[in-house]
Structure 1
């Protein structure tokens, strides 16, 4: 298996990474509704780490947005490209995620990341970063809260409550299944918050976590185990 190496010139410290975030965040597009729910393709992205071996495995799984059936999947394994720093996690995995995306022949359509977009200390999490770099519409759907306050949404599927950071709504805590913990949805790039939540509900017909993330999570874990077995 080919290991994706860290790109030349990739930020090596916190100051350099923050500078890149500031520059790229100026390219965010926040005034588009985004693709229609249930049309075209939607691609789940996720990663798994082996910090002892300095490896990260990324998976990209394309689903038919209407049927939620898998159209295509791809993986890549690379070197962990940045130390662990909260708020800068995108820099640990983006080169490998981009390599997985590049291996797809199908149009990825909407990108769905297991992480955050605008719900981030500098309003530029992984979903926003990938959206800007690829030019594609993107959303973040995270399992756990991060850098905001929120009230519990109502108990029914589709109920939501705003995620607030310094008084700004940066996302929503969204109940994808009745009586189950919410997920945390934020805009990445070229999608409205209402559309991001509508896509998330459509992608979560049976479980708390969207099908995109469920498929990508399983695939990146398998890819990492294969890489470990070769090491």
Structure 2
């Protein structure tokens, strides 16, 4: 993928690509697996470790995983994290034997100032259905009811850009948004199915653990 040389070019590229996002699921969409993606950063250097982990949606069982080591060459700018993470994530994705049914990014999709967060970029770049699942919001919301499965809208500038989703009773919500080729209701249903025991979906948990292990192993060499 093309990495812009300046922040201004990166912002312009996001704005140009945002209309490519498809906000509906393919006909008959019924994914059996979901692939989580995450990146671990080395302190004091540009070294990154990317991990992708495919799990069964019904079981939470890990079916396949892959990793890649790279460098985050683009500067650390809020709203532009995709340009730091995508190249290494795409390398890891290419190492999977089976094409994912669904991508679950550790970050935002439409819930982004230019409606083109990491999940959107991943989806448009790969052509795969994608969901953004973030731990912190980039939009306004009211707290959902305490019960598991409760949601409230995420609002940005009058636009509904995602949902605050309570995955466990009385636990802080997570923030779900469309990445590509999916609708918000389906995205929330799938994230809830992936988060049966913990606040975060199993895809995110497994990819986070693997990226950290991979980074530690690389640094030990």
Which TM class, normalised by the smaller chain length? over 0.9
Task: Write the distance in 2 (CA, Å) between the matches of 1:165 and 1:48.
Answer: 29
**Per-residue deviation, residues 123-158 of structure 1 (Å, max 9, x unmatched):** 000000000000000001111122x11000001001
Q: 2:162 aligns with which of 159, 167, 171?
A: 171
Looking at structure 1, the residues matched to 26 and 167 of structure 2 have their Cα atoms a distance apart, in angstroms, of: 21
How far is the alpha carbon of 1:167 from its aligned partner? 1.2
Which of residues 109, 119, 122 in structure 2 aligns to 1:130? 122
Residue of structure 1 aligned with 2:179, choices 179, 184, 188: 188
- Candidates 71, 78, 94, aligned match of 1:79: 71
Task: For residues 9-66 of structure 1, give each alpha carbon's deviation from its aligned partner in whole angstroms, at most 9, with x where no partner exists.
Answer: 5212101111221222121111336732xx4221000011015221111100011222
The size of the alignment, in residue pairs, is 220
Kept in 1: contact 2:164–2:175 (CA 8 A) = yes
The Cα shift of 1:107 comes to 2.0
Shift in Å at residue 211 of structure 1?
A: 0.3
Partners of 1:41 and 1:108 within 8 A in 2: yes
Q: 1:64 aligns with which of 56, 72, 78?
A: 56
Measure, in 2, the Cα distance between the counterparts of 1:65 and 1:160.
Answer: 20
**Do residues 42 (structure 1) and 34 (structure 2) align?**
yes
User: Hey, what's the Cα distance between the residues in 2 that align with 1:21 and 1:226?
Assistant: 34
What TM-score do you get using the length of structure 2 for normalisation?
0.96
Task: Report the CA distance shift for 1:127/1:56 in structure 2 as closer, same or farther (over 3 A).
Answer: same
Question: Does residue 1:94 correspond to 2:86, yes or no?
Answer: yes
Q: Is the 8 A contact 1:176 1:204 kept in 2?
A: yes
Q: Partners of 1:20 and 1:166 in 2: how far apart?
A: 21
Matched position secondary structure for 1:26: helix
Give me the CA root mean square deviation: 1.3
Q: Distance in 2 between matches of 1:96 and 1:204?
A: 26
TM-score, with length taken from structure 1? 0.92
Moved over 3 A (4+): none
* Structure 1 Cα separation of the partners of residues 159 and 18 of structure 2: 17
SS in 2 for 1:109: coil
